[in-house]
């Protein structure tokens, strides 16, 4: 790909994930060919995935010709000549002199100083390779490489160690024979893949130019607009007017007016600037034309562009074109109109083609064509930036990229400036209401179950803590049947989202039944149902992306022996099965089947239609102890009715879906960001301590920035005392303000230590409280009063510690 930089030059980036050795060789060979063709040394850099050549304004060639610059029969010679001028040759020359003891690191038992070693290496270079050390004015190219062991070894190291000359020859032959396909793109701005090499570290440089002088530093990387211009939320009208006022020309003398006329090409006459214009006209530096009843001013240097735009136009005074510029070719009409519109759009802010065409007397069609060219260059962006702009529905608006980035920044800064941060105690008061735990904020009935699941989906808690510690605290008069109904309807499902325990961690267990191996026994004991096993509830429609967000590329470990492996095989072969069907198909005791099921639950491999299945497994050993004698008495086919829950509430067991590969990481990060906002209302990094995610925080932050640019969320400082960026839903911002305005009234709220709202040690000072079902946290006005040891603190002491 090729694109322009801010200095008017171009950058040529070749994306080739072929490794650093081949990319360095390709880059140096192309650099040498450019040097011979244009007599100009280019700056170059290469890494494992790409290479960049910094071209000047006078380097013009079709991109399709780049692969033909190299010939497979001359690659080795070209690369050898290129290596002589690179720092690679000098470094390896010194290494070989040390290895051959031609230059000693120690002399007389003392260390030979590195500067002295470099001087000795340069002296040896002049002795054995005089053309390399000679004055470049007297050297004829190509440089003849002497047949000397030190030179030959250094050249071999450069070509075959630092680079891969054989690999480059194969690549060039692929170019010539069509075995390697190439794609050529002229872009308005560097693609995201080019950012790494454009910001490359010094070890990627293939010339001796320092970091401060790299031409790649003149590339304007896209910043300030995290989303496309079309997706931006409505911009603040005050921010738009502020930018227009900042960019509106206001020349203080004739020289400044002349600079403005050069930038605008044509500008409507302004009575307030008449004195400056008359001074320029008297010097022959400016003129005016009349077009469609309007008077337009122009600089004399722009005369040819004006005549191209308006053929036959009469300038007054009729100043001859400057002789120094007479040799330059006259621009075509479309190029002249494009420069005129560029100058006006660069100062106008959001504008429509009609508003740009009217002041200079052009047809709207000509202006639209010029704007399309500027949009293709990346200079202009199209969108709907003002809801009341004339002609907006039909034409849309255009704005210079730099101005739009500034308007967006002003809009964002104003919105963020309206926010007053609250204390951590007030934020916890907000969370207690946001998550329906505070009195008066709880949900009710079956609908409340779905609302709580939608808010907390993806959050993993101990299996035994969900009903007694979470649902009961958030739903008035909670009944387990409500959760079963939501699960059996297909709206809600449950399971372990994070990668489960591995088989190596499961090797311990009780004595097994007759005929089982020792390893089988060890694998099964870990499968004893435990209330501490982490489980999550999710809406079934959101399960695919939640699995991707929690598991990522990690594969779930599957058992290979024991009851768990047999249950997994039966579910894989027979599909969803009831518990009784599994017992009937396997030659194992019911308790073994239940332990096998729980082992698969702990691994995140199976789930059931209803949550009654979890309750049943958690009580499996007690039921088995009560019914073992009765079961032992039955030897025939008839098994009778086992003690346990009704099968209709438990439903069938089935395989839990595996995580699919992530195809669009941006969409996944945005979905996760929206879920975190729904759960916490306000999101910042410290809250991620309670989450178990495979998506890194940096991806979530970028997604939140995009949502802020679209106007979906607000950014700012919502909670005092925490560093980093913070984002909130608009409705959460209003709720936080309401909590801040409401004075503390001594309200006490008790939550389980397993509850997501156990934020002691995260948002408040002091040690964290372990997520144990037997422990709890007592908040009074958002201040934790009781720790896991049950120690009571006075509100005054706790408040002092918190603030």
Condensed to tens digits (0 to 9), the pLDDT of residues 541-586 reads 999 999 999 988 887 878 888 888 999 998 998 888 888 888 888 8
Residue 607 has a pLDDT of 93
Identify the CA nearest to 749 among candidates 717, 790, 784.
Answer: 784
Say which DSSP state 577 is in: B
Claim to verify: residue 558 and residue 688 sit in the same structural domain: no
279-283, 351-355, 413-417, 563-567, range with the lowest pLDDT: 413-417
Helix (H, G, I), strand (E, B) or coil at 123: helix
Residue 172 CA: distances (Å) to CA of 370, 604, 636, 650: 40, 50, 78, 66
Q: Sheet harboring 43-46: ordered strands across?
A: 2-4, 10-15, 50-55, 43-46
Identify the CA nearest to 120 among candidates 147, 144, 94.
Answer: 94
- Residue of higher predicted confidence among 444 and 774: 444
Q: Please report how many Cα atoms fall inside a 13 Å half-sphere around the Cα of residue 4, on the Cβ side.
A: 11
Residue-number span of the structural domain to which 561 is assigned: 490-655
601-614 average pLDDT score: 91
Q: First vs last Cα of the chain: how many Å apart?
A: 55
Identify the CA nearest to 265 among candidates 300, 312, 315, 316.
Answer: 300
Claim to verify: residue 275 and residue 190 sit in the same structural domain: no
Claim to verify: residue 672 and residue 715 sit in the same structural domain: yes
Claim to verify: residue 174 and residue 27 sit in the same structural domain: yes
Domain boundary among 655, 680, 703: 655
Confidence of residue 536 (pLDDT cuts 50, 70, 90): very high
Claim to verify: residue 616 and residue 703 sit in the same structural domain: no
Whether residue 436 is contained in a domain is answered as no
Q: Which two tokens stand for residue 594?
A: 């239940």
List CB contacts of 115: < 8 A, sequence separation 6 or more: none
Claim to verify: residue 346 and residue 379 sit in the same structural domain: yes
Identify the CA nearest to 370 among candidates 336, 404, 331, 395.
Answer: 336
What is the average pLDDT score of the chain? 83
Our count of domains for the chain comes to 4
List CB contacts of 420: < 8 A, sequence separation 6 or more: 737, 740
Backbone angles phi, psi at 50, to 5 degrees: -160, 170
Contact 561, 519 (CB under 8 A): yes
Confidence of residue 621 (pLDDT cuts 50, 70, 90): low
Backbone angles phi, psi at 576, to 5 degrees: -65, 135
Residue 228 has a pLDDT of 58
Helix (H, G, I), strand (E, B) or coil at 637: coil
Contact 565, 519 (CB under 8 A): no
Render pLDDT for 679-692 as a digit per residue (tens, 0 to 9).
999 999 999 888 98
Q: Sheet harboring 461-462: ordered strands across?
A: 461-462, 534-539, 492-495
Whether residue 327 is contained in a domain is answered as yes
Domain boundary among 218, 242, 271: 218
Tally Cβ neighbours within 10 Å of residue 167. Answer: 17
Q: Please report how many Cα atoms fall inside a 13 Å half-sphere around the Cα of residue 389, on the Cβ side.
A: 27
Burial degree of 574 (CB within 10 A; 0-12, 13-18, 19+): exposed
Claim to verify: residue 321 and residue 371 sit in the same structural domain: yes
Whether residue 88 is contained in a domain is answered as yes
Residue 528 has a pLDDT of 61
Domain boundary among 415, 448, 479: 415
Q: Which two tokens stand for residue 202?
A: 């010094």
Claim to verify: residue 625 and residue 691 sit in the same structural domain: no
Tally Cβ neighbours within 10 Å of residue 414. Answer: 13
347-375 average pLDDT score: 88
Residue 524 has a pLDDT of 39
Confidence of residue 68 (pLDDT cuts 50, 70, 90): confident
167-181, 475-489, 626-640, range with the lowest pLDDT: 626-640
* C-alpha to C-alpha distance for 479 and 471, rounded to whole angstroms: 9
* C-alpha to C-alpha distance for 166 and 119, rounded to whole angstroms: 34
Contact 464, 773 (CB under 8 A): yes
Whether residue 466 is contained in a domain is answered as no
Helix (H, G, I), strand (E, B) or coil at 343: helix
* C-alpha to C-alpha distance for 497 and 506, rounded to whole angstroms: 19
CATH at residue 302: 1.10.10.10
Strands of 589-728 (E only): list them.
Answer: 606-608, 653-655, 682-683, 714-716, 726-728
Burial degree of 271 (CB within 10 A; 0-12, 13-18, 19+): exposed
Residue 249 has a pLDDT of 87
Helix (H, G, I), strand (E, B) or coil at 299: strand
Claim to verify: residue 517 and residue 578 sit in the same structural domain: yes
Per-position b or e across 758-783, b if 16+ CB within 10 A of its CB: bbbeebbeeeebebebebbbbbbbbb
- Residue of higher predicted confidence among 429 and 313: 429
Beta strands 776-780; 267-268: pairing state: unpaired
Whether residue 396 is contained in a domain is answered as yes
Say which DSSP state 436 is in: T
Residue 347 CA: distances (Å) to CA of 97, 159, 352, 392, 714: 61, 53, 13, 19, 29
16-30, 596-610, 774-788, range with the lowest pLDDT: 774-788
Whether residue 401 is contained in a domain is answered as yes
Is the pLDDT score of 523 beyond 70?
A: no
Helix (H, G, I), strand (E, B) or coil at 256: helix
pTM greater than 0.85 (yes/no): no
Identify the CA nearest to 261 among candidates 276, 275, 246.
Answer: 276
Say which DSSP state 314 is in: P
Residues written for the chain: 803
181-207 average pLDDT score: 86
Backbone angles phi, psi at 717, to 5 degrees: -105, 100
- Residue of higher predicted confidence among 632 and 550: 550
* C-alpha to C-alpha distance for 278 and 300, rounded to whole angstroms: 13
Identify the CA nearest to 662 among candidates 557, 742, 550.
Answer: 550
395-406 average pLDDT score: 83
Identify the CA nearest to 386 among candidates 492, 545, 240, 518.
Answer: 240
Q: Which two tokens stand for residue 258?
A: 């002349």
67-85 average pLDDT score: 88
Helix (H, G, I), strand (E, B) or coil at 266: coil
Residue 393 CA: distances (Å) to CA of 223, 265, 419: 28, 29, 34
Contact 529, 618 (CB under 8 A): yes
- Residue of higher predicted confidence among 377 and 281: 281
475-486 average pLDDT score: 93
Helix (H) or strand (E) segment spanning residue 369: helix 364-377
Claim to verify: residue 189 and residue 317 sit in the same structural domain: no
* C-alpha to C-alpha distance for 143 and 131, rounded to whole angstroms: 7
Residue 395 has a pLDDT of 64
The DSSP result for 54-94, as a single string, is EE-TT----GGGGGGG--TTTHHHHHHHHHHTSHHHHHHHH
Is the pLDDT score of 5 beyond 60?
A: yes
Claim to verify: residue 411 and residue 423 sit in the same structural domain: no
Confidence of residue 791 (pLDDT cuts 50, 70, 90): very low
Whether residue 277 is contained in a domain is answered as yes
* C-alpha to C-alpha distance for 739 and 432, rounded to whole angstroms: 11
Residue 311 has a pLDDT of 84
Tally Cβ neighbours within 10 Å of residue 422. Answer: 22
Burial degree of 672 (CB within 10 A; 0-12, 13-18, 19+): buried
Residue 113 CA: distances (Å) to CA of 62, 85, 93, 107, 120: 50, 25, 17, 10, 11
CA 44, chain centre distance (Å):
27
Contact 300, 287 (CB under 8 A): yes
Claim to verify: residue 394 and residue 424 sit in the same structural domain: no
Helix (H) or strand (E) segment spanning residue 14: strand 10-15
Helix (H) or strand (E) segment spanning residue 476: strand 475-476
The fraction of the chain above a pLDDT of 70, given in percent, is 86
* C-alpha to C-alpha distance for 178 and 9, rounded to whole angstroms: 31
Whether residue 693 is contained in a domain is answered as yes
Residue 4 has a pLDDT of 78
Residue 211 has a pLDDT of 86
Is the pLDDT score of 519 beyond 90?
A: no
Tally Cβ neighbours within 10 Å of residue 610. Answer: 28
Identify the CA nearest to 618 among candidates 645, 642, 652, 641.
Answer: 645
Residue 393 has a pLDDT of 47
Tally Cβ neighbours within 10 Å of residue 488. Answer: 18
Helix (H, G, I), strand (E, B) or coil at 530: coil
- Residue of higher predicted confidence among 366 and 233: 366
110-119, 174-183, 502-511, 718-727, range with the lowest pLDDT: 502-511
Confidence of residue 626 (pLDDT cuts 50, 70, 90): low
Backbone angles phi, psi at 750, to 5 degrees: -105, 130
């Amino acid at each position: 790909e090729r694109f322009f930089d801010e200095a008017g030059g171009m950058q040529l980036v070749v994306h080739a994930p072929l490794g650093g050795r081949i990319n360095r060789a390709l880059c140096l060979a192309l650099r040498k060919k450019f040097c011979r063709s244009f007599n100009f040394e280019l700056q170059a850099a290469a890494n494992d995935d790409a290479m960049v050549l910094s071209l000047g304004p006078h380097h013009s060639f079709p991109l399709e010709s780049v692969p033909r610059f190299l010939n497979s029969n001359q690659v080795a010679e070209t690369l050898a000549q290129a290596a002589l001028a690179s720092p690679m040759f000098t470094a390896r020359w010194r290494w070989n002199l040390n290895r051959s003891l031609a230059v000693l690191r120690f002399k007389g038992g003392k260390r030979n100083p590195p500067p002295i070693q470099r001087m000795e290496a340069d002296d040896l270079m002049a002795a054995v390779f005089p053309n390399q050390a000679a004055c470049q004015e007297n050297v004829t190219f190509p440089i003849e490489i002497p047949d000397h062991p030190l030179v030959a070894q250094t050249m071999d190291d450069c070509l075959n160690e630092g680079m891969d000359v054989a690999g480059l020859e194969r690549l060039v032959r692929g170019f010539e024979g069509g075995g390697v396909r190439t794609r050529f793109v002229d872009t308005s701005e560097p693609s995201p893949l080019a950012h790494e090499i454009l910001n490359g570290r010094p070890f990627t440089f293939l010339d001796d130019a320092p970091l401060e002088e790299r031409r790649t530093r003149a590339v304007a990387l896209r910043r300030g607009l995290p989303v496309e211009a079309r997706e931006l939320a409505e911009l603040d009208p005050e921010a738009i007017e502020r930018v227009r006022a900042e960019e509106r020309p206001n020349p203080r003398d004739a020289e400044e007016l002349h600079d403005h006329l050069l930038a605008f090409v044509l500008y409507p006459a302004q009575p307030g600037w008449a004195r400056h214009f008359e001074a320029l006209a008297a010097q022959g530096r400016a003129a005016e034309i009349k077009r469609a009843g309007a008077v337009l001013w122009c600089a004399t240097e722009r005369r040819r562009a004006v005549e191209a735009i308006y053929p036959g136009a009469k300038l007054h005074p009729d100043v001859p074109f400057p002789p120094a510029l007479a040799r330059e070719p006259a621009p075509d009409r479309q190029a002249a109109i494009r420069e005129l519109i560029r100058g006006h759009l660069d100062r106008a802010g959001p504008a429509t083609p009609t508003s740009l065409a009217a002041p200079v007397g052009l047809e709207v069609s000509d202006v639209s064509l010029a704007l399309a060219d500027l949009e293709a260059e990346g200079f202009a962006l199209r969108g709907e930036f003002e809801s009341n702009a004339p002609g907006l529905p039909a034409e849309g608006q255009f704005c210079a990229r730099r101005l739009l980035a500034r308007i967006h920044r002003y809009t964002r800064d104003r919105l963020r400036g309206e926010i007053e941060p609250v204390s951590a105690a007030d934020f916890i008061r907000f969370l207690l209401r946001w998550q329906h735990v505070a009195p008066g904020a709880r949900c009710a009935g079956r609908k409340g179950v779905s609302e709580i699941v939608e808010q907390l989906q993806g959050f993993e808690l101990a299996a035994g803590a969900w009903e007694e510690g979470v649902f009961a605290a958030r739903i008035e008069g909670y009944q387990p049947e409500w959760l079963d109904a939501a699960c059996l309807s297909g709206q809600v499902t449950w399971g372990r989202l994070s990668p489960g325990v591995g088989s190596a961690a499961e090797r311990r267990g009780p004595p097994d039944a007759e005929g089982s191996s020792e390893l089988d026994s060890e694998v099964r004991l870990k499968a004893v149902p435990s209330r501490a096993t982490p489980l999550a509830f999710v809406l079934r429609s959101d399960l695919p992306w939640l699995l991707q967000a929690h598991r990522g590329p990690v594969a779930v470990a599957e058992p290979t022996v024991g009851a768990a492996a047999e249950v997994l095989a039966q579910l894989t072969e027979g599909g969803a099965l009831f518990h009784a069907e599994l017992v009937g198909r396997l030659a194992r005791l019911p308790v073994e089947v239940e332990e096998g099921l729980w082992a698969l639950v702990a691994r995140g491999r199976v789930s059931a239609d209803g949550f009654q299945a979890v309750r049943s497994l958690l009580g499996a050993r007690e039921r088995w102890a009560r019914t073992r004698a009765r079961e032992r008495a039955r030897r025939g086919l008839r098994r009778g009715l086992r003690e346990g829950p009704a099968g209709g509430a438990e439903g069938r067991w089935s395989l839990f879906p595996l995580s699919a590969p992530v195809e669009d990481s941006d969409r996944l990060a945005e979905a996760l960001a929206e879920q975190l906002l729904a759960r916490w209302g306000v999101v910042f990094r410290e809250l991620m301590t309670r989450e178990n995610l495979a998506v890194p925080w940096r991806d979530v932050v970028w997604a939140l920035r995009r949502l802020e640019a679209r106007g979906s969320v607000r950014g700012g400082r919502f909670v005092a005392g925490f560093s980093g960026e913070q984002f909130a839903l608009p409705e959460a911002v209003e709720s936080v303000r309401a909590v801040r305005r409401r004075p503390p009234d001594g309200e006490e709220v008790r939550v389980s230590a397993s509850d997501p709202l156990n934020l002691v040690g995260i948002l408040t000072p002091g040690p964290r409280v372990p997520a144990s079902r037997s422990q709890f946290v007592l908040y009074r006005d958002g201040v934790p009063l009781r720790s896991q040891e049950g120690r009571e603190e006075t509100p005054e002491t706790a408040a002092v510690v918190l603030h």
